[in-house]
Copies of this chain bind each other. A is one copy, B any other.
Amino acid sequence: MSLPTPGKPVRGSKSGNHLMALFDLLGRSWSMGIIWRLHEGSCTFRVLQDRCESISPTTLNKRLKELTQSFLIARTVDGYTLTDKGREIFLLLKPLESWARDWAKEFESNE
């Protein structure tokens, strides 16, 4: 499979830039959502699918493979977990949560 690997950039970026490779990985549908949901606790494919509500099994499968090969998640006997790296990324994404709440106010006052 062709993956976003640092130094081997993806989707048109010829920069060889690790950050852009990360943006590409996280910038695919459900990537960040999956990391977010997995942080609630390790779980099976099925349970993760339920947590993500509307994700299709095809996409979930694809994202899981990519994220696994990118060392953000790992398979265990009973499903999928965040790796240490995955938990680090989660912590970097976490501040977006409260930011998004404030952001919503812009929409409320401008609509």
- Chain B contacts of A36 at CB under 8 A? 19, 23
Contact with B along A1-30 (1 / 0, CB 8 A): 000011100011111001111110011111
Contact of A6 among B5, B85, B100 (CB under 8 A): B100
| A43 proximal to B (CB < 8 A) | no
Among A18, A20, A106, chain B packs the most CB atoms within 10 A around the CB of: A18
Chain B residues closer than 8 Å to A103, beta-carbon distance: 6, 18, 22, 70-71, 85
**CB–CB B104/A6 < 8 A:** yes
> A99 to B92, Cβ gap below 8 A?
yes
User: Do the beta carbons of B89 and A99 come within 8 Å of each other?
Assistant: yes
Cβ contacts under 8 Å, A31 to chain B: 27
